[in-house]
Amino acid sequence: MSEMMETYIKEAENALLHTYNRYQIVLDKGDGVYLYDIDGKEYLDFVAGIAVFALGYNNKEYNDALKAQIDKVLHTSNYYYNVPAIEAAKKIKEVSGMDRVFFTNSGAEAIEGALKAARKYAFLKDGKTDHEIIAMNHSFHGRTFGALSVTGNPHYREAFGPMIGNIRFADLNDFESVLSQVNEKTCAIIMETVQGEGGIFPAEKEFLEQIRKLCDERDILLILDEIQCGMGRCGAMFAWQKYGVKPDIMTTAKALGCGVPVGAFLLNEKVAANSLVAGDHGTTYGGNPLACAAINKVLDLFKQDNIIENVNEVAPYLEERLNELVERYDFILFRRGMGLMQGLVFDRPVAEVINKALDKGLILINAGSDIIRFVPPLVITRKNVDDMISILDSCLGSL
């Protein structure tokens, strides 16, 4: 580590709240699927800012669109219309098939809005405020109070109780577990279509279909969290589209802005017409012209550059190469995932492997202590996969 990098890290530790155990590098710039630290060292990036930089770094068309908007206006507030927000809403409706959009600043805020919409929908039916929401064990929806309340990891919640009330937990891919939690107060079921932080667990098609049928029969709202697994990562614009099971409310963020902080929750017309009205929900920055200029260009580039087609071409090759590692090393138990959202499950903690890879110029991240998560930019090539496997293999061999 250079003296300059060491100095910056010490300054950070003296100034920033220590809520992250950060890797000991200071990143400076990016280009394509590579990041560079302040010493100029190159890193192949298979994290993409935690599934954010779908288009890779330093995309000129994306950068130019943001620069152009900066020269016009960054913010006006939601008391006025702005063209980027109107265009972004139209485009995201087209690719999602949903009917109404509310732009937020983050994924956690999108979850908060989705929960409020569900509770308001139930309140308007019977005037009661004791409705319950069913969430999944091992899920992760964010760190704000509402999002944390439906996050199925007790360790994240225990120091911050009480959470918002009337939340029950069931098991993903276990319909009887969900059914056992349903009662006359149930107003919504929320889940990630593919669990991310909880270990890269895709929902099973039959399970999702059963949940949809249950919701239809009892007028329960299905909320699908597509914050990490959406935006093309799983081989469709949104992962639920691969199942053919449409939610009543969905959330998105991360790659929606490809680096600009932005999220959204989307509703079908039934929920939109019978839930939130003027005065019920708001945001100062959400849907501002800069964020929506980012969304517009991201959605344009997804179509122009055939991003989803690239995912469906490269993802099977990534799976194949990861499966080779599973066969080669006894301490790797199996691979699971969907598209370019993959995980290798180990029989031991993976921190040592991730740190070794970082030293060798490969950026990886975990999903739980025993899983390496692979969420690279969606523009990666087979050559990038081969390079990643080569570095990772050399790290595993040293174990």
Domain ranges of the chain: 3-55+306-397, 62-304
**Structural element, H or E, at residue 283:** none
Query: Average pLDDT in the 257-269 region?
Result: 98
The answer on pLDDT for 1 being more than 90 is no
Percentage of the chain lying above the pLDDT 90 cut: 99
Q: Predicted confidence band at 399 (pLDDT cuts at 50, 70, 90)?
A: confident
Question: Which numeric CATH code is attached to 62-304?
Answer: 3.40.640.10
Beta bridge partners of 132: 186
Percentage of the chain lying above the pLDDT 70 cut: 100
> What local confidence, expressed as pLDDT, does residue 236 receive?
98
Quick count: other Cβ atoms within 10 Å of Cβ 136?
27
Q: Predicted confidence band at 398 (pLDDT cuts at 50, 70, 90)?
A: confident
> What local confidence, expressed as pLDDT, does residue 245 receive?
98
Dihedral angle, C-alpha 243, 248, 249, 255, nearest 10 °: 30
Q: What is the mean pLDDT of the chain?
A: 97
The answer on pLDDT for 87 being more than 90 is yes
The pLDDT tens digits for 331-357 are 999 999 999 999 999 999 999 999 999
Question: Which numeric CATH code is attached to 3-55+306-397?
Answer: 3.90.1150.10
Handedness of CA 201, 255, 288, 248 (dihedral sign): negative
Phi-psi group of 138: left, alpha or beta (phi > 0 → left; psi -120 to 50 → alpha; rest → beta): left
The answer on pLDDT for 121 being more than 90 is yes
The answer on pLDDT for 17 being more than 90 is yes
